[in-house]
Amino acid sequence: MFAADRNLALELVRATEAAAMAAGRWMGRGDKNAVDGAAVNALRYILNTVSMSGVVVIGEGEKDEAPMLYNGEKLGAENAPEVDIAVDPIDGTRLTALGLAGAISVVAVSERGTMFNPKNIYYMNKLVVGPEAADVIDINLTPEENVARVAEAKGKALDDVTVVVLDRPRHEELKTRLRNVGARIKLIPDGDIGGALLTCKDRGGADLLMGIGGSPEAVITACAIKCLGGSMQCKLWPRNDEDIAESRKRGLDLDQVLTINDLVRGDNVFFAATGVTDGDFLKGVRYEGREIHTSSMVMRSRSGTIRFVDSIHMPKKLSELSKVSGIEYSTV
C-alpha cells in the first residue's frame, strides 16, 4: 500500500531525467545501440535508489533478450510498496540516433499484479482517444465509424479530425480509408507512446491514435492515458502462425478486446516522462555548458494530478554520479 500523500511519480522522474540526459548526448550520431545503452544504464541506476520494491513487467524484454531492465528484474531500495514497473528507456531510439523530434524516456508504476504482460505477443492493434471521446470508441468498428463517433463527440467536422498513425507499410490500407473519409493524418516515424499522449492534449494535439504498434508500449500508454482520463482499446496482433500457436498454448483470446483496465488495473498508477528530443508535448534535453535543462511530465491517476517539471541540472554534480553508475555527463 502507498502512503496517502505519496506521489511516487515525483521520484520516478529522477530516473527519466537521468536517462534523457545520458541518451541525449548521442542525439544525431547515428548509433541506436549507444542511445539505448546510455538510457538503460541511467534509468536502472536511479530506479534502484527509489523507495519501492518493484518487478519489471514491461522492460527491454524477452524480445530483445536484454541483460538489464529485463522482464522480471527486481528494482528498488525498499521492501515496500510492492509495485509493477513498466519502462521504455527511450521511446524513439531511432529518432534520437537520427536527431529527429519526439523521443522521450518513460517509466510507469502501478500496484503489484496489476499490469498486463503480453509476453510473446509483441504487437497490438490500438485505438486511443482523449477524455472527450472516451466513451464512444469501439475497436471492433471500422476506422470510418470510429472517426465519425469521435468527430460527433468532440463537435468537429470529419475533415477536422486528426488521427495519429505510425508510418509503416502495414498501415497503407488504414491511411487510404482515413483519407477517403476526410480525416487528417499525422504520420509519426516512431514513438507511439508520445503519439498517444497527443490525443489528450488540449490544443495542437490529435483526436485519435490508430494502428498496430508494440505491445509493451501499449501497456505503458495505458498507464499514461489512465492518468489523463482518456480511453484505449487493443487487440493482440500475432505476426505469424508461431505467435498464434503460442497464444493458444497460453490461453490467450486473440479476439478479446483489451480495455485500458485490462492493460493496467486499479486506479493508483504513476507515470513520468522526460523529453529527449523536442516534441509536441515536451522539449528535448538542452546542454548549456554549466547547466543541463530537462522538461518532464509527472502524473498520478488516483489524484488526477498532472505536473510539468522544468529542471536545471549541474553537470559537475552529475559527474560524481557517473563515477558509480556508468552514466557519462560532460563537465565544463
Residue 169, annotated ligand binder?
yes
Q: Under 8 Å CB-to-CB from 149, ≥6 apart: which residues?
A: 133, 136, 137, 138, 141
pLDDT number for residue 318: 66
| 104-111 and 231-236 beta bridge pairing | unpaired
Q: Which of 130, 116, 120 is nearest to 232 (CA)?
A: 130
Residue 267, annotated ligand binder?
no
* Banded pLDDT at 324 (limits 50, 70, 90): very low
Residue 88, annotated ligand binder?
yes
Residue 60, annotated ligand binder?
yes
Whether the upstream peptide bond of residue 143 has omega within 30° of 0, thus cis, is no
Number of Cβ within a 10 Å radius of residue 249: 9
Residue 93, annotated ligand binder?
yes
| Tens digit of each residue's pLDDT (9 = 90 or more) over 158-194 | 999 999 999 999 999 999 999 999 999 999 999 899 9
End-to-end CA distance of the chain: 44
Residue 247 has pLDDT above 90, yes or no: no
| Tens digit of each residue's pLDDT (9 = 90 or more) over 200-227 | 987 778 999 999 999 999 999 999 999 9
- DSSP state letters, 3-32: -TT--THHHHHHHHHHHHHHHHTTTTSS-H
Dist. CA 281–CA 274, nearest whole Å:
10
Residue 294, annotated ligand binder?
no
- Is the entire prediction scored with pTM above 0.85? yes
Quick one: cell of 318? 552529475
Residue 194, annotated ligand binder?
no
* Banded pLDDT at 254 (limits 50, 70, 90): confident
| Tens digit of each residue's pLDDT (9 = 90 or more) over 129-158 | 999 999 999 999 999 999 999 999 999 999
Residue 253, annotated ligand binder?
no
Dist. CA 233–CA 277, nearest whole Å:
28
44-71 average pLDDT score? 82
96-118 average pLDDT score? 96
Query: What domains does the chain contain, in order, with CATH numbers?
Result: 3-112+268-322 (3.30.540.10), 123-263 (3.40.190.90)
Residue 11, annotated ligand binder?
no
Residue 290, annotated ligand binder?
no
* Banded pLDDT at 74 (limits 50, 70, 90): very high
Quick one: cell of 174? 488504414
* Banded pLDDT at 63 (limits 50, 70, 90): very low
Q: Which of 16, 81, 88 is nearest to 55 (CA)?
A: 81
Q: Under 8 Å CB-to-CB from 196, ≥6 apart: which residues?
A: 126, 128, 164, 209, 221, 224, 225, 232
Residue 155, annotated ligand binder?
no
Residue 192, annotated ligand binder?
yes
pLDDT number for residue 115: 97
For the chain, percent of residues with pLDDT exceeding 90: 76
* Banded pLDDT at 66 (limits 50, 70, 90): low
Residue 92, annotated ligand binder?
yes
Dist. CA 115–CA 308, nearest whole Å:
25
Residue 182, annotated ligand binder?
no
Residue 84, annotated ligand binder?
no
Quick one: cell of 250? 497460453
| Tens digit of each residue's pLDDT (9 = 90 or more) over 224-240 | 999 999 999 999 999 88
